[in-house]
Structure formats: C-alpha cells, structure tokens
Amino acid sequence: MSANAELIADLEAVVGGAYVLHEPEDLIVYEYDGSVDRGLPAAVVLPASTEEVSGVVRAARRHGAPIVPRGAGTGLSGGAIAHQGGVVAALTRMTRILEVDVDNRFAVVEPGVVNLDLTHAVERHGLYYAPDPSSQKACTIGGNVAENSGGPHCLAYGVTTNHVLGLEVVTADGSVHWLGGRTRESPGYDLRGVVVGSEGTLAIVTKAAVRLLRRPEAVKTLLAVFRELDDASAAVSGVIAAGIVPAAIEMMDELCIRAAEQSVHAGYPTGAGAVLLVEVDGLREAVDEEVDEVERVCLRYRPMEIRTATDPEERERLWAGRKGVLGALGRLAPNYYLVDGTIPRTRLVEVLSRIREISAETGLPIANLLHAGDGNLHPSVLFDERNPDEARTALEIGGRILELCLEVGGVLSGEHGIGLEKQEYFSLMFDDDDMESMAQLKPAFDTGDAFNPGKIFPAGASCVDVFQSAAVARAGAGAWV
C-alpha cells in the first residue's frame, strides 16, 4: 500500500469508509474556503463524535499528516485550507445540541452546529445566541470559536469569546480536555480564552458551552441617509463620543447604496452618499431615550432623511439594503476582494477618505461596508479576475488598506482572522519577540505543529487567487457581510 492508502485505511478504521473522502472529485469541494487561497488535501474525514475526532488525530499523526479542522468553510482568511495537503477534519456531522439549560442560560453544543440553528433551537425559551456573523445561516459554532467571530450586534454584546464558557477540545496527542466550564469563573489559566481565536492551530473544538441571552424587551432601528460619507462617519464618531453604545451601528457608502438599490430596491433617496443603520435594544424606556439621542446626534450632520421602525417587518425593510449589499456587489463587478481591519472610531472620516484616494489612484472601485460602531472596516475592492493586472492590484490595495489601519492605530483583522491571507502582514503589527511569545503556545499545547501548520505566522508569499465569491455562495442565498 502507498503511504496515502495506509493513511486512508487508518482513517476509515476510525470513522468508517463512507466518511473518508479521497477521490479527486470529492476533495475538490474542500479545496476552497471563503478566502483567496486554495489547497487540495490528501483526504477529508468526517468524524461524528469526540472519540472519533480523537481517533482521527491519532491516525493522522501516526502518518505525520497535518490536520486542518473545518466547519462550513465560510472563513475569509484561508483558515480551513489544506495548503500543505494532509487531512481535513470536517466537523459538519457533529451537529447535536447536547444540552439547553434555561435556568442558567447556557447551551452545550457540538462544533458543527450552525450558528443560527442554535438561536432557532432556544427561541421558544425567549433566548438567543448573541454573536451573529452575517454568515450565520451557514457558519458553524466551531468555526466561530476558532475565528472569534463577530457580527453587527457585537458592538453592545461582544464577540464570540465573550460568550463561550467552556470548551471540550482534542489536543494533538488525541487526548480530550475541558477548558473552562459551565460557570462564569474557573481557576487556572484561561486556556479556553486562548483557544478562542486561535484559528484551529491549537486544538480541535469538539464541544462548546456557550451563554444564551434573553431576547430584549424592545428593539428599534434607525436609518439615517447622508449626502456625504464624511457626515455619516462623523455621526458614528459622534454617537460613540456621546456615550451611547447601541446594539449595532452599520454603514454603507455610495457604491454599496447603488448596488443595493439595483438589487433589493431599498428605497434610498437619489444622491445618497452614505447610509447609517443604528439598532438600539433593551428596556422599552431605554430604547426610546437612546434612539431620541442618536437622532439628535445624526441631525447635527445634515442627514437627507431619518426613518425609524419598531415592528419587526418594518425593521427588516430598513435592514434589507444592508443585508443585500454583498450579493449586490456582483452587479458592479465580477469579483470583489473584501478587506477586514479595525481602526479607532475617531479616525473613520480620515481613513475612508484615504481609501477613496487609493481607489482614485489605482482606478479600481472600492465599496465600503462597515461595522462602523466598533470601527471594523470591510472595504471591498471591485475587479475582474480575468484581468491579471486587476487581480494583482486588488491584492495590493488590500495590503495598502491594512497598512493604513495599522498607521492610525488599528489592527489587521477585526473578525476574519489572519490565516493565510494576512500572514505576510503579521510582522507589521508584531515584532519578533511578540511572535515568538505567541508561537510558544503551540509547544505549550504540545501540538507538534499538527493542527493547521503554516498559518497566522509569516511564512513567505502565499498563493494568489481570488475566490471570495465562492464562499458567499457557500454562505447561502442572501448572505451578507
């Protein structure tokens, strides 16, 4: 038997023949995630339990094969790509919700549970799972934990790490550990906290105990349309500076508005240069008082129009343009490269205007959609991959935008992670000592670099190909970022 055939036989012994894929036509589905990279694994294995994950890890390691954990493959930084071959461990069969504890407001779930399915499962108790990445109809809790994912409502409620109480993980020797627990505090180092956001490089998550929140009593959405992008940006900074922390503040620029108008007919006035969506939730009285105040701040920046809504359907209509924009960008160009970075919220006006300059200088349009409330930018460079010059320029623009984020005191990624996509920029943010200290976590977890090797840390040039649109397809109809 060839080495590969032996590996496959060993994996089959753990999960059964039906759950090990190794024919090229099967593997190709797992070649991409949402990022610009790709890589073909030697095998894809679909374990159904913690024990099977542990068996898979042991088998792969016996053969020296790297292991790449994978959820739904909607990641945008290449985290689920097997760029060095090896075994992809897809957790998509582990979809059980094992426990819902209504009194203590937590749930224990397997990693393959789709984010929105968890909320659906606990809705009848008046509860929900707060982190709401826009890909929530498709992405998995395991992937969310690995990327420490955020979402529009993370402004008030925090990102994934703020909602994970404990994790069951399989480490690289195949052993199973609980990190953290089911209570709010547990003694010892916060290993749970370092596994969250570790992009599948330290351990495979096989169970997660996550907090559930109560549905708020009231929700109100305010949509403000501005002629000038600068005014909208200044309004965002104004809201934060006024000491208001709404549940969400989202923003779109003129290009996004145009795309959204064409596809979902959101009904924005002509000449609109930017749209702000502010959602406030909580106690009825608090919602009224805060929305009034948000409106007062917006009025200082010459809005063309302000609309508010409380009933769910009307609110959904206000959100429609924002949620439809990603799909709509396809109408403006065959491809887009969506860049993720965070800046201080006081620098929005300046940074967006410099992005405009970059666009003018390079000739490629850049559409800006933002989780503006926490300074998380998603400039999307529009281009045509059939033109190699444009593709190269798009990636260069991505780099320039990241450098710009760092220059104003921001960071390389707000919610999509470093993965393969940004590893070459990592050393712009961290020096050798910083990176060395982070890298020590791998031996501390004794990974032997078995999980997701060659990611996050700089490793020379990564391959260049732009396939984010494919991930959007995977995230399902109506996906938005």
Residue 468 interacts with another protein (CB under 8 A)? no
Structure tokens at 232: 């909208």
**Region from 40-48, 81-89, 128-136, 145-153 binding another protein, contact rule CB under 8 A:** 145-153
* Residues near another protein (CB under 8 A), total: 85
**Of 188 and 363, which CB lies nearer to another protein in the complex structure?**
188
Query: Least CB distance from residue 322 to ligand FAD, whole Å?
Result: 11
Q: From residue 193 to residue 212, what is the string marking binding to ligand FAD with x (rule CB under 6 A)?
A: ------xx---xx-------
- Find the binding residues for another protein in span 252-271 (CB under 8 A): none
Angstrom distances, CA of residue 265 to CA of 273, 368, 481? 16, 19, 18
According to DSSP, the β-strands at 43-45 and 20-21 are: antiparallel
**Residue 269: count of CB within 10 angstroms of its CB:** 10
Q: From residue 375 to residue 414, what is the string marking binding to another protein with x (rule CB under 8 A)?
A: xx--------------------------------xxxxxx
- The helix or strand, by DSSP H or E, that contains position 437, with its residue range, turns out to be helix 432-439
- Among 55, 69, 86, 150, indicate the residue that binds another protein (CB under 8 A): 150
According to DSSP, the β-strands at 248-253 and 366-371 are: antiparallel
Partner touching 470 among ligand FAD, another protein, none, CB below 5 to 8 Å by kind: none
* Gyration radius of the chain's alpha carbons: 22
Query: Least CB distance from residue 165 to another protein, whole Å?
Result: 10
- Among 127, 179, 402, 481, indicate the residue that binds ligand FAD (CB under 6 A): 481
- Find the binding residues for another protein in span 3-62 (CB under 8 A): none
**Between the CA atoms of 330, 336, 338 and 344, what dihedral angle is there, to the nearest 10 degrees?**
-90
Which are the contacts of 57, defined by CB distance < 8 A and separation ≥ 6? 67, 89, 170, 172, 173, 174, 204, 450
- Please state, in angstroms and rounded to a whole number, the distance separating the CA atoms of residues 236 and 349: 10
- Among 4, 84, 310, 346, indicate the residue that binds another protein (CB under 8 A): 346
Tell me phi and psi for residue 102, to 5 degrees. -70, -40
**Between the CA atoms of 398, 399, 400 and 403, what dihedral angle is there, to the nearest 10 degrees?**
120
- Among 50, 54, 74, 161, indicate the residue that binds ligand FAD (CB under 6 A): 74
Partner touching 438 among ligand FAD, another protein, none, CB below 5 to 8 Å by kind: another protein
- Please state, in angstroms and rounded to a whole number, the distance separating the CA atoms of residues 61 and 42: 14
**Of 76 and 287, which CB lies nearer to ligand FAD in the complex structure?**
76
Residue 79 interacts with ligand FAD (CB under 6 A)? yes
Partner touching 374 among another protein, ligand FAD, none, CB below 5 to 8 Å by kind: another protein
Residue 119 interacts with ligand FAD (CB under 6 A)? no
- Please state, in angstroms and rounded to a whole number, the distance separating the CA atoms of residues 467 and 394: 12
129, 122 in Cβ contact below 8 A? Answer: yes
- Please state, in angstroms and rounded to a whole number, the distance separating the CA atoms of residues 319 and 468: 23
DSSP-derived 3-state class of residue 115: helix
**Region from 75-83, 239-247, 297-305, 422-430 binding ligand FAD, contact rule CB under 6 A:** 75-83
Query: Least CB distance from residue 288 to another protein, whole Å?
Result: 7
- Among 8, 67, 91, 278, indicate the residue that binds ligand FAD (CB under 6 A): 91
- Find the binding residues for another protein in span 292-321 (CB under 8 A): none
Residues in the chain, how many? 481
289, 249 in Cβ contact below 8 A? Answer: no
Helices (H), 330-424: 348-362, 388-407
Partner touching 352 among ligand FAD, another protein, none, CB below 5 to 8 Å by kind: none
- Please state, in angstroms and rounded to a whole number, the distance separating the CA atoms of residues 168 and 192: 9
**Region from 4-12, 73-81, 240-248, 426-434 binding ligand FAD, contact rule CB under 6 A:** 73-81
- Find the binding residues for ligand FAD in span 287-316 (CB under 6 A): none
Structure tokens at 437: 């200290």
Positions that interact with ligand FAD (CB under 6 A): 33-34, 68-76, 79-80, 91, 111, 133-135, 139-140, 142-144, 146-147, 149-151, 199-200, 204-205, 326, 415-416, 452, 471-472, 475, 479, 481
